[in-house]
Amino acid sequence: MSSTSLPSSVQKLIKLWSKLPGIGTKTARRMVFFILKQDPKWVNEFIGTIKQVKEETHHCGECGNITDIEPCSICRDKMRDRKIMCVVESDEDCISIEQAGIFNGLYHVLGGQVSPLDEEDIPEESITKLKQRVYDLEIDEIVLATAPRIEGDLTAFAIQEALEGVHVKISRLSYGLPVGGSIGYADRVTLHMAMESRKEMVNE
């Protein structure tokens, strides 16, 4: 069946779904036809849940992680080590590290990375917020959990430069992580080894 023979609403949904990360046109088409076969009650619940997630979640005003309370459950947890902070590029990375159970400190989600090719940079307000949190919380160590690829390297160096003159140890996850990969997709064992063998970054 050619795409032009499909109802316009179906074509539109396939096009929208194919914009999701890792979803091609064929996969999007399978997902759409799966939905068409479902009970209307399930479809309405699915649609309602998407709207609910969008309407009820936001980024924590402290760390930038995704949450539905303010501050998030991690920031308000008094049992955490509040002298060490893990800096990640995205909330997906934060969730992966947290679910791996390898870190018990605080987090700071940058909400971006340094990527010259994509003309992308770390939001300036995130850098400012990070520096302020380091001062206010008297952080002893910053763990940079940036991706093991060129963008991650540039992001780590940008953070190191931004914190120059600030009395805080800066370390980075070791390269047990697959080069070119993503923190968010690394398994628990790999993340544990990378965290345990993290290396201190020293200004040249």
pLDDT tens digits, 51-102: 999 999 999 999 999 999 999 999 999 999 999 999 999 999 999 999 999 9
Domains observed in the chain: 3-56 (1.10.8.420), 60-200 (3.40.1360.10)
Residues, the chain:
204
DSSP letter for 20, please: S
Residue 66, SS3 per DSSP: strand
In contact, 60 and 75? CB cutoff 8 Å:
yes
Q: Which amino acid is at 93?
A: D
φ/ψ bin of 67: left (φ > 0), alpha (ψ from -120 to 50), beta (otherwise): beta
Yes or no: say if 92 and 66 are a contact pair by the CB < 8 Å rule: no
Q: What is the pLDDT of residues 160-193, one digit of tens each?
A: 999 999 999 999 987 666 555 678 777 888 888 8
